Amino acid sequence: MTYSSAVTTVFVIALAIVAVDLVLRLKFRRERRAGYRPSSLLRWLRLAVNVAGLAALVAAAITGLSPALQKNGEMTGDALITHVTMAPPFAVMAAIVALFWAHRNRFTEGDWNTGYRAAPLRKFFFWLAVAFAVPTLVSILAAMFPLADTEGQADLVRIHRYCGLFLAGSGLLFAYFALMAWREGSED
């Protein structure tokens, strides 16, 4: 499987998950619950983090994956510079988003016995995204140090590309389910 077809596959699967969720949401429609309301300042801070985090993810994903779709993963020239420029804001926002969301995304007993809700899926994709974010960052940073030989360098870049792809998919699904959970009034 080529990298460009892997990119397509991941996003088709992500869209399929969203489509299935929308169908299930129509079937198991439920009332919006009154959830936890944090203070105004914290609410605005959370919103800022969420918006900035999503923007950074989208920017990193677009700059990283669009050359892949065009040239099957060969990223050079200005596309590479653009992607690398997006990397530090993304890394910072990834860490902040993880800190802001980790506690709320603990799995609880309620996740399994309250019917079909967005929160459990949000939690799942959050932890999946965090799990992929670590090798995505570490692999490409390791490639910047004289650690791996030529084949190792190629492997590190491959790890970065595939983990980055899964990070983009799971990150966007996390964002989607976070939005759905917010609509449901779920804050836990």
Segment interacting with another protein (CB under 8 A) among 22-30, 34-42, 123-131, 168-176: 123-131
Name which position in 7, 10, 60, 140 contacts another protein (CB under 8 A).
140
Residue in 125, 133, 135 with CA at minimum distance from that of residue 172: 125
Which stretch in 35-43, 62-70, 147-155, 172-180 sits in contact with another protein by CB under 8 A? 147-155
Q: Which stretch binds another protein (CB under 8 A): 43-51, 57-65, 110-118, 132-140?
A: 132-140
The residue (of 158 and 183) whose beta carbon lies closer to another protein is: 158
Tell whether residue 168 is a contact of another protein (CB under 8 A): no
Instruction: Report the alpha-carbon distance of residue 63 to residue 180 in Å, rounded.
Output: 27
User: Does 119 interact with another protein (rule: CB under 8 A)?
Assistant: no
Distance CA 25, CA 17 (A): 12
Q: Any contact of residue 6 with another protein (CB under 8 A)?
A: no
If one asks whether residue 114 binds another protein (CB under 8 A), the answer comes out as: no
Quick one: which of 103, 83, 102, 85 has its CA closest to 94?
102
Judged by CB under 8 A, does residue 127 bind another protein?
A: yes
Burial of 100 (0-12, 13-18, 19+ CB in 10 A): middle
55 near another protein, judged by CB under 8 A: no
Q: Does position 144 bind another protein by CB under 8 A?
A: yes
Nearer to another protein, 5 or 153 (CB): 153
Per-residue b/e over 123-149, b at no fewer than 16 CB within 10 Å?
bbbbbbbbebbebbbebbebbeeeeee
